[in-house]
Amino acid sequence: MKYFFSYRVGIQKSSKQSPFDVMFARPSVLEFDSRVKLSVTEQDIENTVKEMQCLRDDIESKVKSNVKMAQHDQVTRSRNRNLTNQSRIRVGQKVIRYNVRKASRKGSKMEKRWMGPYIVEDITPKGVATLKSLDDRTLKVKYNVKQLKVFKARSDVHVEERNKTEDMDDCVIEHVEVAPKQHFNTVDAEWQKAHKDDFKIRKFHKFSEKKRLTKPKAVENIKGDGNCYFRCLSFALTGSQNVHERVRDVVVTFMTEHTERIEKHFGDTYLNDSNMDKSGTWATEAEILASAAYLNTDIYVYAKSGKSYKWLKYPADMLSDKAIVTDKSVYLANISGSHFDFVKDVV
Indicate the DSSP class of residue 158: -
Please identify, among 85, 102, 127, the residue that sits at the C-terminal boundary of a domain. Answer: 85
Q: Which residue has the higher pLDDT, 319 or 213?
A: 213
Say if residues 198 and 192 touch (Cβ distance below 8 Å).
no
The answer to the question of residue 333 being in a domain is yes
Least confident among 76-80, 113-117, 157-161, 328-332: 157-161
Please identify, among 85, 107, 140, the residue that sits at the C-terminal boundary of a domain. Answer: 85
The answer to the question of residue 162 being in a domain is no
Are 270 and 341 found together in one domain?
yes
Share of the chain above pLDDT 70, in %: 78
Question: For the domain that residue 211 is a member of, what is the CATH number?
Answer: 3.90.70.80
Q: What is the pLDDT of residues 300-339, one digit of tens each?
A: 999 887 778 889 989 888 887 666 888 899 999 998 888 9
Mean pLDDT across the chain: 79
Burial of 334 (0-12, 13-18, 19+ CB in 10 A): buried
CA atoms of 208 and 187, how far apart (whole Å): 10
- ∠ CA(95), CA(97), CA(100), 5° rounding? 175
Q: What is the pLDDT of residues 125-137, one digit of tens each?
A: 888 899 998 888 8
Are 241 and 290 found together in one domain?
yes
pLDDT value at 166 more than 50: no
Are 226 and 266 found together in one domain?
yes
The answer to the question of residue 111 being in a domain is yes
Helix (H), strand (E) counts: the chain: 11, 13
pLDDT value at 292 more than 70: yes
Please identify, among 85, 109, 127, the residue that sits at the C-terminal boundary of a domain. Answer: 85
Q: Which residue has the higher pLDDT, 176 or 146?
A: 146
Sheet containing strand 114-123, strands side by side: 143-144, 128-132, 114-123, 94-98, 148-150
pLDDT value at 42 more than 60: yes
pLDDT at 24 (0 to 100)? 76
Are 188 and 321 found together in one domain?
yes
CA atoms of 281 and 18, how far apart (whole Å): 38
Domain extent at residue 28: 2-85
Sheet containing strand 329-334, strands side by side: 176-177, 308-314, 298-305, 329-334, 341-346, 216-220
Are 111 and 250 found together in one domain?
no
**Number of domains making up the chain:** 3
The answer to the question of residue 114 being in a domain is yes
Are 317 and 220 found together in one domain?
yes
The answer to the question of residue 172 being in a domain is no
Q: What is the pLDDT of residues 249-288, one digit of tens each?
A: 999 999 988 888 888 777 777 888 888 888 888 898 889 9
pLDDT at 111 (0 to 100)? 65
Question: For the domain that residue 109 is a member of, what is the CATH number?
Answer: 2.30.30.140
Threshold 0.75, pTM exceeds: no
CA atoms of 142 and 20, how far apart (whole Å): 45
pLDDT value at 43 more than 70: yes
Are 71 and 196 found together in one domain?
no
